[in-house]
Amino acid sequence: MRRLLQTLGLARRELRAWALYDWANSAFATTVMAAVLPIFYADVAAAPLPEHVRTAYWGYTTAAALLLTALLSPVLGAVADHLNAKKRFLAGFAGVGIGATALLAAAGEGMWLYVSLVFIAANVGFAAANVFYDSLLPHIARPPERNRVSTAGFALGYLGGGLLLALHLLWITQPGWFGLPDALAATRLAFLSVALWWVLFSIPLLRGVSEPPRGLGAGAGGAGARTNPLREGLGRLAQTFREIRRYRPAFLFLVAFWLYSDGIGTIIKMATVYGREIGIGATDLIGALLLVQFVGIPCTFAFGALADRLGAKGGLYAALGVYTAIAVLGFFMTEAWHFWVLAGAVGTVQGGAQALSRSLYASLIPRAQSAEFFAFYSVSGKFAGVVGPALFGAVSQLAGGSRWSILSLIAFFLLGWLFLSRVDLEEGRRVALIEGEDHGPNHGQRG
């Protein structure tokens, strides 16, 4: 593993430890969020419901999970910066996600409400932990390293999530090979294994990455130590809302990200249950999503190289063009091989779009407020992410099927492209550097 990390260009121990968390939590993103749980929800937990209602309820479930995370993230980011506790918050919310993931193994037929509630808790833990994980990037990686380190993390996520998902596919399709009674038992074991994987590979980050130095507020024993951290966090959050207008390129990028990430996230979360609704078998669905993981590994690095040549914006433009085509072709999908082709197309752009978005945003914000600003980044995606799955579910329920739902995603990609085109990266980086120097030790005490 160490040799692999060094091959990816992660020479320093802290960079390797940070990137391994993508390997750890991507098991949740692949098995639980994208591949196995949506099928389990449609075939087992929500089996008594009509097919299009199962799709709609899954859309509402994912929207609710994102809404809760969006409401929590900004306050948590501000409090974490104030308490100098990014790693502790990361560990706490990862623990919530891990515990809830394990509880999915207790679900049975007709328990759609239980699965919805437990998944919401798991997804909140997963997404909130990522706020603090992402906020560590500006502290551990120098500016020239950020694109490479961010893409390496996503590539590791694809590899780790893909390897575990491949094992899960074998368990579910051939349970007898592993001494399991049936596919249902294999599915429950898959949920437990995701929780164990997440715990095990989170340890390097928790042990090997240092808590960043306090960026604001007094140190121990100072005035900041006597301030109520929740009140201080809320006050700093309100101040950050006012200040973000000073970082116009970062703000415009957030709007673009808000739009196109909603479309991307909806495809990730709804593709499997949509495929199940139109009659594609579970083996094809999981196998195609496994293809996404392994296509995504080289393509994520290819997007990193593309960003070096064309810039991060050029890479994102290309990704959004591909996603627009996927939404159009998804409307006409009828056969299993169609799903495989579209999954392969997703794999070419998914990791690159996410990695370039993260590193581009990191270059536009002041380091001293990274947790707060990455909370805004997360909130932009999460509040926007509420709209996509909810719209997908509502259109599916009203139309009696989901084909028009998939077509509606085109608007998110086109509008995201429009706002991204208005982001001046050079100006944004200059302002972030100059303004960030003004956020000294007493910044949190300003009225």
pLDDT greater at residue 405 or residue 1: 405
Write out the DSSP string of 83-143. HT-HHHHHHHHHHHHHHHHHHGGG--TT-HHHHHHHHHHHHHHHHHHHHHHHHTHHHHS-G
**Does 10 have pLDDT greater than 70?**
no
Q: What is the mean pLDDT of residues 365-371?
A: 73
Which pLDDT tens digit goes with each residue over 161-186?
A: 889 999 999 999 999 999 999 999 99
**Does 348 have pLDDT greater than 50?**
yes
Looking at residue 2, what is its pLDDT? 60
**Does 440 have pLDDT greater than 70?**
no
Amino acid found at 172: I
Looking at residue 127, what is its pLDDT? 86
pLDDT greater at residue 51 or residue 336: 336
pLDDT greater at residue 402 or residue 235: 402
**Does 223 have pLDDT greater than 60?**
no
Q: What is the mean pLDDT of residues 285-291?
A: 88
Domain edges within the chain = 11-207+232-445
Q: Give the closest residue to 370 by CA, choosing from 219, 262, 211.
A: 211
Looking at residue 221, what is its pLDDT? 42
**Does 387 have pLDDT greater than 70?**
yes
Looking at residue 446, what is its pLDDT? 33
Structure pTM? 0.75
Which pLDDT tens digit goes with each residue over 11-21?
A: 678 888 888 89
Which pLDDT tens digit goes with each residue over 353-367?
A: 887 887 888 888 877
Residues 6+ apart with CB under 8 A from 375: 73, 74, 76, 77, 78, 131, 135
Which pLDDT tens digit goes with each residue over 125-139?
A: 998 898 888 888 878
Q: What is the mean pLDDT of residues 209-218?
A: 64
Q: What is the mean pLDDT of residues 215-223?
A: 43
Q: How far is CA 164 from CA 17, 114, 157, in A?
A: 20, 25, 11
Mean pLDDT across the chain, nearest whole number?
Answer: 82
380 — pLDDT class (breaks 50, 70, 90)? low
**Does 159 have pLDDT greater than 70?**
yes
**Does 220 have pLDDT greater than 50?**
no
Looking at residue 310, what is its pLDDT? 74
pLDDT greater at residue 437 or residue 444: 437
Question: At which residue do the structure tokens 């500006």 appear?
Answer: 138
Percent of the chain with pLDDT over 90: 32
Looking at residue 354, what is its pLDDT? 82
Count H helices and E strands in the chain, helices first: 18, 0
Structure tokens at 377: 């980044």
Region of residue 222 (left: phi > 0; alpha: psi -120 to 50; beta: else)? beta
**Does 418 have pLDDT greater than 50?**
yes
Say which CATH superfamily domain 11-207+232-445 falls into: MFS general substrate transporter like domains (1.20.1250.20)
Which pLDDT tens digit goes with each residue over 28-45?
A: 999 999 889 999 999 999
